[in-house]
């Protein structure tokens, strides 16, 4: 069994951190991660820097980050303006994202869900015309900080419409970390008939992220998002803490016999580096405890 890991630390990881790293340091972060064997790195977010200051200078990050064979550089866009900016970079995939609930989508993106679906279709069309992949992340698929429990039927109805745009992949995001494995199974099995790869973007706010990743594997997930050292969160969602930690996830997957293609020791070195850069202990556990069994000296 194999699964594609998308490392989101340079984007989703840093966007909610108190430290503001320069584009040069963020590009270095991307380069270090690209050397670990991850399949993809989310390098930047093409959003309004006045709203998300940690993502200012996205174009510079993309220009400075070195291309690596076998590692896709992807970036987040929320609308067609964001895609226009991305189109002038080397990024091979546009990750369009919007929230499945009206309140959160209006607060996060200033538009209703219908408008976001229409923009998703336009972005998919533009990306494909440019020779890029396009994926769609459906935020708050497992619960909303403003509307509470989200009906999985609503999520699947939106996902079906997005699938009809010709998008290359749909990612169900547990943006505030409230999901449990039963929900994962319900969404992935419900969307299996759409005929496109499905992914999960998991946060570990309530300590269910890794259980949800295993449920996703059992349901045939194609891609898992994670963030080295467990950094991250959503600046527009109250109490949304970090993503599942990439090194912890890889340790778990290796123990389950899943091939990720990632060098865990290299990944741990990046985790140690970003911990030093940010200057405080971070949520990832494996860096604190070490591998088991420990590699031979």
Cα–Cα distance between 34 and 234 in angstroms, integer?
A: 24
Q: Are strands 223-226 and 72-77 parallel, antiparallel or unpaired?
A: unpaired
Rounded to the nearest 10 degrees, the angle between the axes of helix 152-163 and helix 113-129 is 30
- Matching residue, tokens 């109490």: 239
Cα–Cα distance between 150 and 152 in angstroms, integer?
A: 6
258 touches 228 (CB < 8 A):
no
**Which are the contacts of 103, defined by CB distance < 8 A and separation ≥ 6?**
144, 146, 147
Among 252, 269, 272, smallest CA distance to 260 is for 252
Q: Which of 6, 91, 99, 234 is catalytic?
A: 234
Size of the chain in residues: 297
6 carries an active-site annotation: no
CB atoms inside a 10 Å sphere around CB 100: 26
Please tell me whether residue 3 adopts helix, strand or coil conformation.
Answer: coil
- Matching residue, tokens 């320069």: 22
Can you give the C-alpha Rg of the chain in angstroms? Answer: 17
Please tell me whether residue 63 adopts helix, strand or coil conformation.
Answer: helix
Handedness of CA 62, 244, 155, 112 (dihedral sign): negative
User: 294: alpha, beta or left, given left = phi > 0 and alpha = psi -120 to 50?
Assistant: beta
**284, two tokens:** 């990832």
Residue 218 CA neighbour count, 13 Å, CB half: 12
Positions marked catalytic: 234
């Amino acid at each position: 069994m194999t699964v594609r890991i998308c490392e989101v630390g340079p984007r989703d990881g840093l966007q909610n951190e108190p430290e503001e790293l320069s584009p040069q340091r963020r590009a270095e972060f991307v380069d270090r991660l690209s050397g670990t064997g991850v399949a993809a790195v989310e390098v930047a977010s093409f959003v309004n820097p006045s709203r998300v200051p940690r993502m200012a200078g996205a174009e510079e990050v993309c220009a400075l980050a070195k291309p690596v064979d076998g590692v896709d550089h992807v970036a987040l866009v929320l609308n067609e303006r964001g895609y226009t900016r991305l189109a002038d970079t080397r990024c091979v995939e546009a990750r369009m994202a919007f929230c499945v609930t009206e309140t959160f989508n209006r607060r996060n993106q200033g538009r209703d869900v219908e408008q976001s679906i229409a923009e998703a279709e336009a972005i998919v069309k533009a990306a494909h015309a440019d020779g890029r992949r396009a994926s769609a992340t459906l935020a708050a698929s497992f619960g909303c900080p403003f509307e509470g429990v989200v009906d999985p039927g609503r999520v699947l109805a939106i996902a079906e419409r997005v699938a009809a745009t010709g998008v290359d992949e749909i990612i169900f995001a547990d943006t505030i970390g409230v999901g449990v494995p039963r929900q994962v199974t319900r969404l992935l099995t419900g969307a299996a008939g759409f005929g496109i790869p499905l992914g999960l973007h998991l946060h570990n706010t309530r300590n269910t992220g890794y259980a949800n990743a295993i449920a996703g594997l059992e349901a045939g997930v194609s891609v898992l998002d994670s963030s080295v050292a467990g950094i991250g969160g959503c600046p527009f969602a109250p109490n949304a803490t970090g993503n599942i930690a990439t090194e912890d996830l890889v340790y778990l997957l290796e123990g389950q016999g899943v091939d990720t293609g990632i060098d865990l020791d290299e990944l741990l070195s990046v985790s140690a580096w970003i911990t030093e850069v940010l200057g405080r202990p971070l949520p990832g556990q494996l860096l604190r405890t070490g591998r088991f069994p420990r590699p031979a000296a």
